[in-house]
Amino acid sequence: MAISRRQFLRRSGFATAGGLMGPGILGNPWMQRALAETIGDRYFISFFLNGGNDGLNTVVPYDNGGGTLRSDYENARRTNSGGIQLDAGSGGGGVEGLDQAMPTSSFLDPNTGAQLSFHPGLQAFRDLYDAGQLVVLQGCGYPEPSLSHDVATTIWETGDPFGALAGSKGWAGRHLEAEYNPTDIPAVTIDNQVAGELQQTGTSVLAIRRLNRFGFPYDDEYEDDEQAKQDAFDALYDEAAANGSGPAVFIGNSGAATAQAAQSYPALHTDYENERGGFSDMYDDQNLGGGTSTTRDLREVAKIIYGTAKGVPNVNSRFFQVHNGGYDNHSDQGGGDPDGRHYRLHREVSAGIKIFLDDIADMANGQTDGRQNLPDKICILVWSEFSRRIIQNDNGTDHGTQGPMFVIGGGLAGGVVGNHPNIAQAVIDNYNGNTPYSQSGGFRSTDIRDVYGTILKNWMNVPQGTVQAILPADGGNPADYWTVQDFDLPIFL
Amino acid sequence: MSESTALDEASARHLLRRSGFGAIDRDVERLLSRNETRGEAAASILDYKPSKFRPRNKDIDIAHNKWIKFMVRNRTPIQEKLALFWHDHFATSNDVVRDPKQMADQNRLFRSLGKGDFRVLMNAINRDAAMMDFLDTIRNSKEEPNENYPRELQELFCFGVFDLDGQPNYTQEDIVQIARAFTGWRTNSKNNQAYLNENRHDKGTGAPEDPYPERGPKVIFAGNSAFGPGGYDFGAAAGTNYEAEIDEVMNAIFQHQDSAGRNTVAHWIGYRLITFFADPEPTNAYVESMVSASNFDTTFNVRDFLYQVFVSDEFYAPLSDPTKRSVKWPVDYVITTLRLLGMKLRSRYQYINGGSYDEIRDQLSNMGQLLLEPPSVFGWDWETSWVSSSTLLARYGFARDVISARGRGKTTLRPERLFDFAESPAVDPEIVVEAIANLLGVGDEFAPASNNRAILVDYLTDGNGGTVDFSDYETRDMKLRGAICLVLQSPAYMLH
C-alpha cells in the first residue's frame, strides 16, 4: 500500500508557519517575485449583489438628453408615500437627491445623451468614477432572461444561458480549470461555500470566512500522538482522492487542499494585523462606511492579496468572490433616505470597496519589488442576478431584467459603456414590465458574456480562441441573440 | 414488488441511516427482530404518532438548541428528518421574520402535517404567519400586487421552474394573476391567524374601488393540458367569496399538468423527497414509478410515497454503488455522531464538553447550516455544495471536540464503555478498527484488506504493524479516541 505523505503538512508546521512569516524574511523577495510585472500578478474579484439589485435606482437618468429617460423614470418611480423616485436635484427634508453623487466628469448615456447620476448612497463610486477607477456597464443581461433568483444566478455564474456546456461550471472556473493544476489553490471565496462562478473540478478553490479561524483543529490532549494522527488523516484523504468513487473523490481532494491551506493561510491574518493594523481599523470605521459585513469580507481579501503579493510560501490566490445580500426589496426599498434599505446597501458596498482600494494603494506605497504597481493589478466586477421591475410596487420593486455592472480598479479606460435600458411606457405595456434583451438598435443590451470575455481576454490575457471556447455563442438561436465574440468592450486601457 | 423483499442487516442499517440519524445497534436489532420484509420495516418507521413538539423560546438561539436537543434524544428520527426537509423546502428565516414564536408555530406544522396530505400542509403554509411575513403576503395589496409569494409558491413550493423534461411549468402571467388572489391577506397580531382584509383585496369587479381593467380576468394556466386554451378562471370559480380565491388557485395548482401530462405537484414534491431520502440524481422513470405506486398524484400522501421509496431497489442502490452516496447534511453529521456515540450536549447553550467548547449553533453555522435561519428562500444547497474548505474544517473541529469530551454522564465520550477490548499488551488492531468503523456505520469502507483499514491499523500501531499494547490506560484511551476522530473526519463518514 502506497501512502503518500505531505511532509510540509507535519504538525511541526504549527511553529514553522509563524516562523516563515517572521520579520527576517519580509525584505526578501521570494521566488514568486520573478512573476512581478507579468500578467500572472493580476487579481480579479467578483462582487455579487445577491437578491437582484434595482439598477434603475443605481445608475439613474438625471435629464432626458435627446430622449425621454428622465420622464420615463418619473413615470415608473413615484414620489408620494412609499415612492422611491430619486430627485433630480439635492432632495430635501432629510432625503438626498442625485446631486449628492453626481460626477464632475462626463457621465452621459451613450444612446440618448441623457445626463446620468449615481444613487446618492453611491458617493464613493462617484469618487472612483471621477478618478477613472470605475467603468459603468449599462443594460447588462442575456437572452430570454429568467426572473427566478435561482435560475438567473446560475446563468450569471456560468455565463451559459442556454446550457450549451455540460457540468454547470462557473465562467471563471472554466478558466481556472484550464490554467491551474489540481494541487494549486488559485481562488478563494469569502464564505462557507465556493461561489458558483469559481466552481469546477480541475483545481482547488478555498472557502474561507475568516482567516484567523481557518486553522486545523488539533487535539491538544495527546500531543505526542498528533503526528501519527495527521499522517493517517492525510492518507485517508489521499486514498479517497485516488481510489474513491462518486462524491468521495471530491471530498478527498477538498480535504487535502484544506489541510494544506490550513497550514499557510491562518498566518496571513496575524501578519496583516501586525503590519497593517492601521488599515485594518479603517474597515471597522463606521465614519468611513466601514464596520459592515462587506468591509470585513474585503479585509480578508486584502490579507490574502497582501500575502500573495509579498510571496508568502504556498499562498498564490488570484481570484476571489465576495458577496452582499439584501437586494430583494419587494417592499420597504426606500429611495434617497439615508436610512432606507437600498441606500444603506449602496453605501455599504461603495464605501467598502473604496476602503479596500485605499488599503491596496497603501500596500504599494514605497515598495520597489513590484508591489508598487499593485493598484493597477486589481479588477473588481460588481454584478447582480437581475435588476428590478421598471414600475415600482407599493413601496418596493419586483423582479426585473437588465441592469448596470461596474468594473473597478486600475488600468481602466473609465466612462460609460453600453446603453441605459429602454424604460418607456410602451416597453412596460408590451414586454410584461421589463426591458427585453436586444442586440440591435439604440437600446442594444450589453451581453454578460461580452463582459466576462473582455475580462478574460484583456485583463487575464487569455487568447481570444480560448475565451470563445469558454463562452460559446448562441448558435442556432434567433439572429438577435449573442453571436459576436470579439470580447473587446472598451473597459481597459 | 419490492415490499416483500426480505430485510437483511445491511438494508436495515441503510434504512435507519437515511430515514433517521445513523443506525444504532439496538435499533438495528429491534428493526430486524420485528420485521421480516422491507415493507414491514418501512411501515414500522413511518407509522408513528406525530409529536406536538415545537422549538419555542423568545431567544432564537435557545429555540434552535431546543430543536437540536430534541433531535438528539427523540425516538422518531424520521419525523425530524421530515421536519428538516420541509424546513428546507419552505425555507423561512428568522433573520427576516424576527419572531421566534411564529417560527416555532411554522416548525410544528412540519411535524403535525409533515407526513400527511401535502395539500393540507401547503394550504397551512399559505396562511402561516411566518411565511406571510417572510415572502410579503402581508404587504400584498390591490393597488400594487406583490409577486414574491406567488412566484415561490410555483417555483419552489409546488412546481419547480422546469419539469422533469426541462420544460417551463408556468409563466410570468400566472405569477401576476395568482398575486391578485393573495392581495389583502393579513395576520392578526394577537393570535397570528390569517384573515382577508377585503378593502385591500383586488376583487376584479371593475367597480370604482377596483379600477384595474387592464389586469383582465383572473385566469391562470392558459394552455395547460389540464385546463385547455382558456386556462382556469379562479376569480369566476370563487365568485364573491373572495377568501376562496386562494383555495381555487390551489385547486388549479394541484390539477396542473407538466409538459408530459404528469401531475406537476406530485412529481415535483416526489422528486424533492427522493433527492433528499434516496437518490440525489434520480431518473424520471424512478420518480414516475414512485408517484404511480403510491397514487401520490391523487392522494398527495407523503407517508405512502415514502413507503414506496423505502421499499424500492433504487433506495438501497448506494449499498453496492458508491457513486450513489449522498453527502450528510451538517445537522445529520452532528446528530448522527452524538447518537451513535451515546452522547449529549451540555446546557441550554448545547456545547460539547471538550475541545473548543463552542456552542453547537456556531459549529453548525460554520458547517453551513444554521437552522431557523436558512440562507434564502431556496433553502440550503445540498450534496457536494455542503463541502468546502471552511465547512470541512468545521466538521473536523466538531470531531475533535467530540473525542476531547471528558467529564460526567453522557456529555463525555467514554471509549471504554463503547468497546470491550481486553486490557492486554497484544490486541489485534484489525479488531479495533472493525469495531469502531461498524459502530460509526462505515464498516464497508474500512473492510478487511482495504486501504482505509490499513491506514488505521498503521495509526494504531504507529506504523510498526503487529499488535497494539492496550495494557496501559493512557495508550488505550489515546488511540481509541484518535481512531474515532479519524473515522469521524474521514471522507467515508461524510457520506451515507
- List, for residues A369-425, the tens digit of each pLDDT value: 889 999 999 999 999 999 999 999 989 999 999 999 999 999 999 999 999 999 999
Confirm if B242 and B196 have CB atoms less than 8 A apart: yes
Radius of gyration in angstroms for the set of CA atoms belonging to chain B, rounded to a whole number: 25
pLDDT band at A37 (very low <50, low <70, confident <90, very high): very low
Establish if A476 touches chain B: CB-CB under 8 angstroms.
no
Q: What is the pLDDT of residue A213?
A: 86
- Test the B interface: residue of A223, A251, A315, A317 with most B CBs within 10 Å: A251
CB within 8 Å of B370: residues ≥ 6 apart: B64, B361, B364
How many residues are there in chain B? 496
- Convert the pLDDT of each residue in B193-212 to its tens digit: 999 999 999 999 989 999 99
- Cβ contact B486–A233 (<8 Å): yes
Q: Using CB atoms, which residue from A207, A232, A246 is nearest to B456?
A: A232
- Which residue in B393, B359, B342, B287 sits closest to B21, CA to CA? B342
**Min distance B89 CA to chain A CA atoms (Å):** 14
Cross-strand partners of A50: A325
Above 50 in pLDDT, residue B73?
yes
Looking at per-residue pLDDT, the higher value among A53 and A370 belongs to A53
In a domain, residue A484? The reply is no
In a domain, residue B304? The reply is yes
Mean pLDDT of B130-149: 94
- Annotate A242-279 with b (16+ C-beta within 10 A) or e (fewer): eebebbbbbbbbbbbbbbbbbbbbbbbbebbbebbeeb
In a domain, residue B207? The reply is no
Whole-angstrom distance, CA of residue B239 vs CA of residue B247? 12
CATH value at residue A397: 3.40.720
Above 50 in pLDDT, residue A2?
no
Residues of B in contact with A432 (CB under 8 A): 172-173, 176
Nearest CA in chain A to B484: A229
Establish if B74 touches chain A: CB-CB under 8 angstroms.
no
Rounded to whole angstroms, what are the CA distances from A389 to A399, B68, B169, B170, B184?
5, 41, 22, 19, 21
Above 60 in pLDDT, residue A4?
no
Task: Determine how β-strand A205-207 pairs with β-strand A116-118.
Answer: unpaired
Whole-angstrom distance, CA of residue A448 vs CA of residue A444? 13
Mean pLDDT of A10-37: 30
Radius of gyration in angstroms for the set of CA atoms belonging to chain A, rounded to a whole number: 24
Confirm if A298 and A355 have CB atoms less than 8 A apart: yes
Confirm if B146 and B123 have CB atoms less than 8 A apart: no
Mean pLDDT of B302-312: 98
In a domain, residue A259? The reply is no
Above 80 in pLDDT, residue B220?
yes
Above 70 in pLDDT, residue A20?
no
Q: Using CB atoms, which residue from A246, A254, A398 is nearest to B389?
A: A254
- Convert the pLDDT of each residue in B148-205 to its tens digit: 999 999 999 999 999 999 999 999 999 999 999 999 999 999 999 999 999 999 999 9
Above 70 in pLDDT, residue A10?
no
Enumerate residues 440 to 469 of chain B having a beta carbon within 8 A of any beta carbon in chain A: 451-452, 454-456, 458-459, 462-463
Above 90 in pLDDT, residue A206?
yes
Task: Determine how β-strand A134-141 pairs with β-strand A415-417.
Answer: parallel
Q: Per the structure block, which three cell numbers stand in for A177?
A: 480549470
In a domain, residue B232? The reply is no
In a domain, residue B306? The reply is yes
Burial of A36 (0-12, 13-18, 19+ CB in 10 A): middle
Asked which of B286, B304, B324 is the last residue of a domain, the reply is: B324
Nearest CA in chain A to B386: A193
In a domain, residue B445? The reply is yes
Please provide the average confidence, as pLDDT, over all residues in chain B.
96
Q: A404 by DSSP, 3-state: which? A: strand
Establish if A331 touches chain B: CB-CB under 8 angstroms.
yes
Query: Domain span at residue A146?
Result: 41-215+265-470
Task: Determine how β-strand A403-409 pairs with β-strand A378-384.
Answer: antiparallel
- Convert the pLDDT of each residue in B319-352 to its tens digit: 999 999 999 999 999 999 999 999 999 999 999 9
Task: Determine how β-strand A403-409 pairs with β-strand A319-325.
Answer: unpaired
Above 90 in pLDDT, residue A183?
no
Residues of B in contact with A255 (CB under 8 A): 392, 491
CB within 8 Å of B95: residues ≥ 6 apart: B373
Enumerate residues 185 to 214 of chain B having a beta carbon within 8 A of any beta carbon in chain A: none
List the single range of A144-158, B53-67, B287-301 with lowest mean pLDDT: A144-158
- Cβ contact B151–A244 (<8 Å): no
- Residue A143's Cα: distance from chain center in Å? 22
Residue linked to cell 406537476: B264
Q: Between chain A and chain B, how many beta carbons pairs sit less than 8 Å apart?
A: 184
Query: Which amino acid, residue A474?
Result: D
Asked which of B301, B324, B347 is the last residue of a domain, the reply is: B324
Q: What is the pLDDT of residue A452?
A: 98
In a domain, residue A285? The reply is yes
pLDDT band at B277 (very low <50, low <70, confident <90, very high): very high
Asked which of B324, B350, B369 is the last residue of a domain, the reply is: B324
Query: Domain span at residue B315?
Result: 9-47+262-324
Looking at per-residue pLDDT, the higher value among A481 and A303 belongs to A303
- Cβ contact A231–B459 (<8 Å): yes
Mean pLDDT of B114-123: 98
Q: How many CB atoms lie within 10 A of CB B8?
A: 13
Q: Is the dihedral of CA A200, A204, A210, A213 positive or negative?
A: positive
Q: What is the pLDDT of residue A28?
A: 32
- Convert the pLDDT of each residue in B221-251 to its tens digit: 999 999 999 999 999 999 999 999 999 999 9
Cross-strand partners of A399: A388
Above 60 in pLDDT, residue A72?
yes
Q: Per the structure block, which three cell numbers stand in for A157?
A: 455564474
In a domain, residue A16? The reply is no
Q: Using CB atoms, which residue from B139, B393, B486 is nearest to A236?
A: B486
Query: Which amino acid, residue B190?
Result: K
Nearest CA in chain A to B482: A229
Q: What is the pLDDT of residue A184?
A: 83
Q: What is the pLDDT of residue A26?
A: 29
In a domain, residue B192? The reply is no
**Min distance B344 CA to chain A CA atoms (Å):** 20
In a domain, residue B299? The reply is yes
Confirm if A181 and A168 have CB atoms less than 8 A apart: no
pLDDT band at A477 (very low <50, low <70, confident <90, very high): low
Q: What is the pLDDT of residue B5?
A: 96
Above 60 in pLDDT, residue A35?
no
Residues of A in contact with B388 (CB under 8 A): 189, 192-194, 206-207, 254
pTM of the model: 0.85
Establish if B403 touches chain A: CB-CB under 8 angstroms.
yes
Above 60 in pLDDT, residue A238?
yes
Residues of A in contact with B356 (CB under 8 A): 217
Q: What is the pLDDT of residue B329?
A: 98
Query: What is the phi/psi pair of residue B99, to 5°?
Result: -150, 90
Confirm if B429 and B469 have CB atoms less than 8 A apart: no
Cross-strand partners of A282: none
Above 80 in pLDDT, residue A29?
no
* Max mean pLDDT range (A143-152, B136-145, B219-228, B399-408): B219-228
In a domain, residue B296? The reply is yes
In a domain, residue A252? The reply is no
Please provide the average confidence, as pLDDT, over all residues in chain A.
89
- Cβ contact B389–A214 (<8 Å): yes
Q: Using CB atoms, which residue from A225, A235, A325 is nearest to B482?
A: A225
Above 90 in pLDDT, residue A481?
no
Total domains in the fold of chain A? 1
